[in-house]
Amino acid sequence: MPSDLRQERDHARTERRRQAVLDAAGRVFVRQGYHRTLISDIAAEAGVGQGTFYRHFPDKRAAFEAVFDRFVESLFAEFAGMSANLPHDAREYRDSSVEALVRMAQALERNQDLAKMLMREAPAVDRVLEEKVASFQDGFILLAKTFLDHATAEGFARPCDTTLVAQAIVGMGTSVAHMWWSGRAPDVTLDHLINEVVDFAFFGISTR
């Protein structure tokens, strides 16, 4: 039936339009923050009428959440296959940590403004989004904990409260990343920064 084809094409067009509005929303949120963003700003940025915004999202809050969700998904996709190959010794462990962080840093580099905006604005939007940010972090903490548990079990990391240490590691990473992007980290290469941080995580500050 030709109407099927048509329906499909229309559906695709609608989806494309929705993405365009979503992209526009993301850009405006980055530029102005959640509360200073008007629906009319998003519509103008997307080059559509205000009514069109409402065809795709019930309100500003929903558009923000959609931007957030898309970001989180794209970021986790980056790490999908990671837990597959677990390290076999301390050296491998350290290397794959560095590699993971480099990949993460690169993924974030591409969306750094978006990432910063989301982490800054989402918790202040409402309780639900605050919770979502927390869950997002928890995802990484769980990932870190899995690796840590493995390393501890295999004997190439010291026994410790892995949940707590995983939290500490992720918090550390998040903070340093934040500073790096806001230009308040020392002026070093990203590689140096990551290695320094990984060294700290592996050896602390102790003189061996």
Partner DNA sequence: AATGAATGAGGGTTCATTCAT
Partner DNA sequence: GATGAATGAACCCTCATTCAT
Binding site for its own copies (CB under 8 A): 33-35, 90, 120-121, 123-124, 126, 130, 134, 137-138, 148, 151, 155-158, 160-161, 163-165, 167-176, 178-179, 182, 184-186, 188, 192-193, 196-197, 199-208
Residue type, 182: S
Contact indicator for 18, 56 with CB cutoff of 8 Å: yes
- From its own copies, DNA, none, interface partner of 13 (C-beta below 5 to 8 A by class): DNA
Q: How far is the CB of 141 from its own copies (least distance, A)?
A: 8
Residue 135's region, left for phi above 0, alpha for psi from -120 to 50, else beta, is alpha
Tell how many helices (H) and how many strands (E) occur in the chain: 9, 0
- From its own copies, DNA, none, interface partner of 48 (C-beta below 5 to 8 A by class): DNA
Query: Looking at residue 58, what DSSP letter applies?
Result: S
- From DNA, its own copies, none, interface partner of 63 (C-beta below 5 to 8 A by class): none
- From DNA, its own copies, none, interface partner of 83 (C-beta below 5 to 8 A by class): none
The CA distance from 83 to 143, in Å, is 8
The CA distance from 54 to 52, in Å, is 5
Q: Which residues bind DNA (CB under 7 A)?
A: 9-10, 13-14, 17, 37-40, 48-52, 54-56, 59-60
